[in-house]
């Protein structure tokens, strides 16, 4: 089922269900080369979400700021290649959301353990606001906060379950968003955590 959330934002419930095992095999392969880590914000706070990346560019944060980098600062090596199953899913979801020709060069992997949250923010470090961000939720469910163009705009709460995919394009691309603390639970494929993949055109 396709649900419009806001102009330019399309929720594709369960879109990634049929390829969930291939996606999680890809996650394991990437994390073997570029392990999850807790980044530090420019303000000096340790993020509760653990992150890694694959693709030509990866999102990083440290005391110097937020940016995309071709290398994993922890290893000094390029980020692992984007698995074919990742790219194929992201391209198909973007097409279903109305964005033909999406060619992501960055995939951020976020891991949420119970209690982990992501506070309201905008994604403004990519060079291409005309392309959408495609997000894929795997494992434990979460409540996503989807606000407006200003931090103070009222946010809608959108429950996201395993396999749900959202294409965030058009005016929604720069809206504030976040994730409420993930509740304890067990999922057959991920165990006690939620994994989120976000595909972007960053370079």
Alpha-carbon span 144 to 147, nearest angstrom: 10
Candidate segments 17-25, 93-101, 171-179, 180-188, binder of ligand MD3 by CB under 6 A:
171-179
- Residue 196 binds which of ligand MD3, Fe ion, none (CB < 5-8 A, kind-dependent): ligand MD3
Q: Choose, by CB under 6 A, the member of 52, 53, 135, 190 that binds ligand MD3.
A: 135
133 scored as a contact of ligand MD3 (CB under 6 A): yes
201 scored as a contact of ligand MD3 (CB under 6 A): no
- Residue 172 binds which of ligand MD3, Fe ion, none (CB < 5-8 A, kind-dependent): ligand MD3
Q: What is the DSSP letter of 18?
A: G
| CB of 78 closer than 8 Å to CB of 70 | yes
| CB of 160 closer than 8 Å to CB of 112 | no
Residue number closest to ligand MD3, CB atom: 196
What are the start-end ranges of the H helices in the chain? Answer: 20-33, 84-96
DSSP 142-194: EEEEE--SSTTSPPEEEEE-TT-EEEE-GGGGG--EEEPPPPP--BTTTBS-E
**Pattern 60-89, ligand MD3, x by CB under 6 A:** ------------------------------
50 scored as a contact of ligand MD3 (CB under 6 A): no
Q: For binding to Fe ion (CB under 5 A), which residues are involved?
A: 123
């Amino acid at each position: 089922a396709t649900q419009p959330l806001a102009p330019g934002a399309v929720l594709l419930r369960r879109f990634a269900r049929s390829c969930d095992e291939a996606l999680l095999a890809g996650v394991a392969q990437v994390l073997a080369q570029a392990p999850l880590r807790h980044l530090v914000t420019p303000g000096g706070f340790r993020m509760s979400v653990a992150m890694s990346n694959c693709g030509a560019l990866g999102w990083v944060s440290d005391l110097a700021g937020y940016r995309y980098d071709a290398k994993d600062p922890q290893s000094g090596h390029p980020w692992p290649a984007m698995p074919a199953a990742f790219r194929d899913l992201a391209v198909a979801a973007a097409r279903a959301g109305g964005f033909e020709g999406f060619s992501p060069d960055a995939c951020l992997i976020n891991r949420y353990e119970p209690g982990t949250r992501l506070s309201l923010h905008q994604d403004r470090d990519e060079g291409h606001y005309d392309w959408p961000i495609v997000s894929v939720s795997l494992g434990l469910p979460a409540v996503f906060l989807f606000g407006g163009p200003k931090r103070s705009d009222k946010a809608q709460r959108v429950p996201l379950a395993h396999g749900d995919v959202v294409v965030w394009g058009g005016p929604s691309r720069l809206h504030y968003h976040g994730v409420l603390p993930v509740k304890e639970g067990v999922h057959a494929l991920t165990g006690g955590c939620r994994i989120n993949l976000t595909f972007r055109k960053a370079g």
